[in-house]
Structure 1
């Protein structure tokens, strides 16, 4: 975190001697560009490439912005991530497409949080996004893009921080972080981080506890080699919370604190992640990078799911919901091996690599029915006067599924970054992937399935350094999303469906105006996904791969120095989504706002070493899967920071005006996901 509050910061590359008049020129960077902008990112090319030379939209959320917004989990950052919107739980939408598993850690697959747990940020240094198909680099994935979490590593300089925080709804948290050299010359370094928190909610029967342990050790084996070992443990005990029923106009049918869960319902999540990375410089033009990542995750869910609205007193008004009780355990295991070589050949930088991704899931799912209302099944729950007194131990439980899934993916790729002229940079890349998935029905074997395929992805793009103020780019990229093995069973003649294919054309520009006080990043994109499975028009018992989804839109990210002390970070997104020949169109179109606008602006008071910040998050109207309206909303946040000696004090108010709103929706029965009401956080941290 930067501690100086000067009016301007000077780039380390600011001094350049001109050849014509031998006069030193100074390039001035505005305050916003030093606080909230990262000049380089690896997510777009696997090398530390200037973002201005990456021909695809790249956005980086810096540690300063994460801390300013008091972001504990990634959903707290969506206002500052153009093209990204909330879908449900840990699933987001990027450029209109659901991104369930397109997550990287330090450029490698292996997401421990899965579908129903939201990624935590305690051990994250920065969040990078690469938007649009990324198949040429990272293989099979969704069309919208990928998020890369850059984890905190051991540092050469000693850094020690203790932090305590409190807030309303009984929020309490504490953390300790220590990082620095482990020997005199700093060739060995360590990191230790411990975090714990607990809190209640505005929703009935909802509490949450978090524990995180993050360890790291880096060892310079020689002047040319560094080995970094990391271990992270996550534990969360909370609830799988569904929504509040709404009508077709998006009005809540009861108080937004209503919840279908009983007091003893819970969701427990525990994960252990091991990662090892070896960086080695082979000679002065060839470097190598090897990463091994392994994780084990267990997720247990015991919760009541709303199933249908019902009229218990026959007055024509739905006043309760029937419920289903679900007891689910999912065990995930995965490991990844990733290696690549970077050859610096003058005008060409060649990256070649191969990776292997394995992921397994064991799912055991029991449920208790929803219809008879006897003591052996969940009772209906009133919308207006809920009584949480069911005896869960008396439920009759039935097996829904007992299933194991194994996914194997092997990929090889090559990329060329070519400095064609002093102003033009070209990037080309191609990748070949082999994908295999097996599903085993451990109950009776009736749903066993197996699938394998080969897919190709490519990218070509160019950046043009027209001037120091205007730097346009363009690119064409492709990717693929394999059909699941279970979906292959819906083929009428038994033939395999081809993977979904996606392609994007993007043009954009990065501009630096008003003496570098205004940075505008603009992108126009057009994405088409083909081979989407849809109901066979000749036989609705089967599917055919004829569906198509088209997404196009505009993104604008602004960093501005309004005055020497006043900076702003603004992100705007317009997304137009269209579905053709797909009987699941309502799901695809759900939770897809046309317009999103996020603002974070900060004003500094150097004389008292303090700053005040203000945030806004606007999301336009959406629909759920039943075409019920999710109303537009605007939320405001406020923050204050001050420093005194080695202390930093911070206060954040989220949802400043305590607005009641829904951020997304499922179905009429499951309801809309309720946004958090006003939350106040007070934090004190001490560096020692």
Structure 2
């Protein structure tokens, strides 16, 4: 544990300024919880506020989800706590249309992507093969389909926006002590409150530490987070928030690949098998600094602006599996990789909204822009000769520790990638009547990419590419009643090719991937928000996707690419959050997707696809979570599950369908509570996703026990 991280944790543990406050995460109904409806005060139970979404900022301004003509979901901190969620992979089962692909990557409406945003800005501090942590996150906003109007070029499946916890003028202290199997132990604490008596200055400070030895052989994970924030009230409707967060993830015998399978998707050995030696590791250190100013100008104008900077370095030394030996099917061939990935990025954004009545019709105008500059460097050296294979049935570790020393004699191949993105948007939301709204928006984007590759200081390839485009978005919303909306929308997508694909050796540079989505759906917020149900149907079309052209010889070892692909993704999604009774809440989500290659040339292949189907794109995905509280015993019981249908891996191997269940009990103990949780209740052996024949499928976690003792004052 680094000393620089410790002060935040100690301050949070020892803060003398906190006063007692009820925790909304307790197992019993809170009699002090009140909702104002006109002049009526409604006292609601814990379940009636649970997981409820009333506003979202995924459209760059606070808005009722019913007034946004696209499918979206918001996962809040109540659900994090109830499900014991630690990182992003713990919440995917709650999101229709999203499933795990690899590391921080997901399959989103049929397409692989790993883009994420923080407080509406680019600058993900979890680079490479690290997964976003949730300790300092208040909620996760998911906007489905092309989101380019507000977020710029990106994948058409949608975006995931992590909204940070911020200072509060309410004095509170929350501490969580964690224990579980696989030698899991941890502690976290966070405090908020006023610095001065008038609340002009407020703060948040927190620290998180957790260690465990996961089920894969040789592995040990240690995660450390330090987080601090200061909010300055600048005027009656405005505030400046400054935040700093540091991360230190030490993962032994990582980065993890999968476990080899046969073509039917059956593991060839125990899911505990690991190609990594005990001396292998992945180590991420990262720092994110952020400032954001938001203000209201009168009652009809708002403005916000933000700047975000992050700097991260991921160091990896690991053994990469290279498939079965042709002479002995019990041996897995390996190579050793020594990689350093320093990345830094700087982003700016500004947004303004203004409401105006013109010719008797209400307009909500939004305008804004963003700019992002990132430098990403990969220093890599790969040792292939003399690396010992590893047995599947009886692996013997410790005989390859010298590989790191031999690799150190090799020169680094350095790939220096520079990317720049900037754009401007304008949208008008026009209320023709109380029941009918029209939305229209336009955005201009510009990007610049540059890649330089060198080995031992000698440049082997250099490419530069820049381009721009205009995209549009339109939609209509009909509200037959205040708590129900029917919508239809059309939106365009604009996605630059990967910077590495722009190399002249690969045939680049290439024009961006373009496309559009047509979506229609219904949203409801019935019975005072106690029934929130959403349904959507969509069709996404992508063109200009790069394909490897087997009719052309490789250049300097790189396959020749050609932008002649077309893909169509069609699907249906349904989400429901409801209070079955005042003490019983239920969440259900379902997604159907059919993503296929609809335009190509015989003999060619699109990345992440086999035949006309996409890898790790399930046709069906179901998730549910239900929680019932018993006030008479101050306890709550929860049960959840997930089903993902059959998929294929990048190599065309079957990824078998799976169904897993979880359960938990939460018991109130005065000002504290204890949660006992079991994941994968029936200890099902399954593949969370497929990868390649050389490195196997990613196994899902076996049965895992977690206990948390939570105190809040």
Q: TM-score, length-normalised on structure 1?
A: 0.93
SS of residue in 1 equivalent to 2:91: helix
Corresponding residue of 2:564:
546
Corresponding residue of 1:374:
none
1:152-551 aligned within 5 A: 152-238=165-251, 239-312=254-327, 318-346=329-357, 347-369=362-384, 377-394=386-403, 396-397=406-407, 398-399=410-411, 401-443=413-455, 444-468=458-482, 470-489=484-503, 496-512=509-525, 517-536=530-549, 539=552, 541=554, 542-551=560-569
How far apart, CA to CA, are the structure 1 residues paired with 2:45 and 2:471? 39
Change (3 A) 1:498 1:28: farther
Deviations 1:60-113 (A, max 9, x none): 001111110000001111111111111100111211112222x11111111111
Which of 97, 101, 106 in structure 1 is aligned with 2:111?
97
Task: Return 5+ residue gaps in structure 1 as ranges.
Answer: 17-23, 371-376
Aligned-pair CA distance for 1:368: 0.7
Corresponding residue of 1:19:
none
How far apart, CA to CA, are the structure 2 residues paired with 1:459 and 1:301? 42
How far apart, CA to CA, are the structure 1 residues paired with 2:352 and 2:338? 46
How far apart, CA to CA, are the structure 2 residues paired with 1:10 and 1:445? 64
How far apart, CA to CA, are the structure 2 residues paired with 1:619 and 1:191? 39
Corresponding residue of 2:662:
637
Corresponding position: 1:14 with 2:29: no
| Contact 1:491 1:544 (8 Å CA) reproduced | no
Which of 90, 94, 115 in structure 2 is aligned with 1:80?
94
Aligned-pair CA distance for 1:417: 1.8
Greater CA deviation, 52-61 or 573-582? 573-582
- CA-based RMSD of the aligned residues comes to 2.2
Corresponding position: 1:581 with 2:600: yes
How far apart, CA to CA, are the structure 2 residues paired with 1:400 and 1:434? 32
How far apart, CA to CA, are the structure 2 residues paired with 1:241 and 1:485? 25
How far apart, CA to CA, are the structure 2 residues paired with 1:517 and 1:686? 28
Deviations 1:16-64 (A, max 9, x none): 8xxxxxxx8x999897552112111010x21111001110011000111
SS of residue in 1 equivalent to 2:348: strand
Corresponding position: 1:51 with 2:65: yes
Aligned-pair CA distance for 1:344: 2.1
SS of residue in 1 equivalent to 2:49: helix
Aligned-pair CA distance for 1:660: 1.1
SS of residue in 1 equivalent to 2:608: helix
How far apart, CA to CA, are the structure 1 residues paired with 2:552 and 2:340? 35
How far apart, CA to CA, are the structure 1 residues paired with 2:307 and 2:660? 41
Change (3 A) 1:247 1:8: farther
How far apart, CA to CA, are the structure 2 residues paired with 1:438 and 1:312? 43
Greater CA deviation, 122-131 or 3-12? 3-12
Corresponding residue of 2:10:
none
Aligned-pair CA distance for 1:469: 5.7
Corresponding position: 1:684 with 2:685: no
| Contact 1:31 1:561 (8 Å CA) reproduced | no
Corresponding position: 1:109 with 2:118: no
How far apart, CA to CA, are the structure 2 residues paired with 1:624 and 1:536? 21
How far apart, CA to CA, are the structure 1 residues paired with 2:276 and 2:27? 49
Corresponding position: 1:145 with 2:158: yes
Q: TM-score, length-normalised on structure 2?
A: 0.90
Aligned-pair CA distance for 1:122: 0.1
Change (3 A) 1:419 1:33: farther
Aligned-pair CA distance for 1:547: 0.4
SS of residue in 1 equivalent to 2:90: helix
How far apart, CA to CA, are the structure 2 residues paired with 1:117 and 1:627? 26
How far apart, CA to CA, are the structure 2 residues paired with 1:229 and 1:514? 38
Corresponding position: 1:648 with 2:673: yes
Deviations 1:195-228 (A, max 9, x none): 0000011110111000000000001122243110
Change (3 A) 1:509 1:547: same
Corresponding residue of 1:572:
590
How far apart, CA to CA, are the structure 2 residues paired with 1:6 and 1:145? 36
Deviations 1:344-391 (A, max 9, x none): 224112111121101111110011105xxxxxx210101101011224
| Contact 1:15 1:27 (8 Å CA) reproduced | no
How far apart, CA to CA, are the structure 2 residues paired with 1:186 and 1:421? 41
Aligned-pair CA distance for 1:640: 0.9
Corresponding residue of 1:620:
645
How far apart, CA to CA, are the structure 2 residues paired with 1:8 and 1:462? 40
Corresponding residue of 2:623:
598
How far apart, CA to CA, are the structure 2 residues paired with 1:272 and 1:404? 21
How far apart, CA to CA, are the structure 2 residues paired with 1:194 and 1:451? 42
Aligned-pair CA distance for 1:12: 3.4
Change (3 A) 1:92 1:115: farther
How far apart, CA to CA, are the structure 2 residues paired with 1:431 and 1:339? 14
Change (3 A) 1:671 1:289: same
Aligned-pair CA distance for 1:284: 4.3
Aligned-pair CA distance for 1:606: 1.0
Deviations 1:550-602 (A, max 9, x none): 11101100112333322210011111010131733462311111111001000
How far apart, CA to CA, are the structure 2 residues paired with 1:383 and 1:483? 38
Greater CA deviation, 225-234 or 394-403? 394-403
